[in-house]
Structure 1
Amino acid sequence: MRTSPARRIAVIAAAAGACVVALAGPAFAHVTVQPGSAPQGGYTAVDFRVPNENDTASTVKLEVNLPMDHPLASVRTLPMPGWTAVIEKAKLDKPIKVHGNDVNEAVSKITWTADAGVKVAPGQFQEFRVSIGPLPTDTEKLTFKALQSYDNGDVVRWIDEAKDGQPEPAKPAPVLTLTKAAAPGAAPSASAAPADSHGHGDAATATAETTATAAKSDDSTARVLGVVGIVVGVIGAALGVAGLRRKSGSAAS
């Protein structure tokens, strides 16, 4: 049984469309830490990027649990209009040394709650910025388990930890990768946050990080648009071939 040109074109278009979705989908698929890496031992500013993956409900709360096995002595949230941030602290079993002083407690959780009328609607995402440090020097990553709450009562638990050699879990926890600090005298990296007299990154560094994140987003958009162009070209070529076949068939008859 022969397949009609129209049916073949529909199959090609469907397959090409699936490729576009596969490439575009992961851009904001999970709750993530942006940027995804920072030097050990320093201070940095990170964003918890939260996409709304629900087509019928809006995100109204985010809870981020900080790692207590590698506690962070300094945690500060950036004020966000329409959102209230609440910081919870916990006593440490063993004090940590920060700038020569003993620190006996650390932030264990941050909860952002939307004010009345404020939400992250379907098709949108929000970024929640935090200044943290000093970052530990005895681990290569920090895992932040997060809970995303919707206004219909649904709660998505981004708490699964990835394991080497296994596929990524369905709801992975946000992870910040820690890199080795630059050697003394080396030029500072673009991602390193210079500290002020209190050990916190300055505004210029935060702006640079935001610009880098935006550049990554633009790069992802460009790749998706490129794939869309290829898809359109494939469909156009298929239509052209089908037209020539119909014309040849008519001439032969």
Structure 2
Amino acid sequence: MVRLAGRLRRLCLLAISVWSLATNAHAADVTVLCSQALKTALDELIPHFERASGNRLVATYDTSAILKAQIETGKPFDVVVLTPPLILALIQQGKVVDGSATTLARTGVGLAVRKGAARPDIGSAEALKQALTRAESVAYSTSGASGAVFAAALQKLGIADAVKARGRAIPSGLTGDVVARGEADLAVQLMPELMAVSGVDVVGPFPPELQSSVVLTGGISATADKARAEAFLAFLRSPAAAAIMRARGLEPG
């Protein structure tokens, strides 16, 4: 009952937050291109934003690098959520409004196994090294922010060649899906992305000495209705939205 009451309070807060941010009476689509790290949280938040604002949110999810490339080739959007360097590059190209960059959340890279499989110890750098080298195959992203963190960790551990020789490089999508299908032993990706796959068990985040936080930043298109876009970003920074983000493996702000 306590848990249910807390959830109801959060949902009420969401409705109040969005209602106060609604900018006009004319319904419109708000197109959002979003890093897939935010997908599970945003899927839960979208209905509350739509009911209270009267606008329809149309979201497309992929890795930050792929979304940036799509914007550069002309894909329309109102709000984009990517890593800070990519937002900055889009600002410099005039595709994102200068001054609109808003830090929304941060998260880290973790590891998952197929549901029901033995969970390796990854509590230290040496333990993670043993887990990665003993696995027959490791699925990892090549286009997402997690790929860069994983590559740096492998270099620090001195096992980059050994792991990549039998790795499963995934250009897009969720590495957890590969493990859930039995095509790899371990999945490495951002924690929310691992948590989004029902067929895996999340072991946990990389140890601090090998971890690097990935920041998710929102920006507004140069062609967007600025008031609607700002209202949506403000909604994502509301206390109630923050509670849902934490439950999905993200640290708000």
TM-score with structure 1 length normalisation? Answer: 0.24
| Larger Rg computed on CA atoms | 1
More strand by share: 1
More helix by share: 2
Q: Larger RCO: Structure 1 or Structure 2 (Cα < 8 Å, ≥ 6 residues apart)?
A: 2
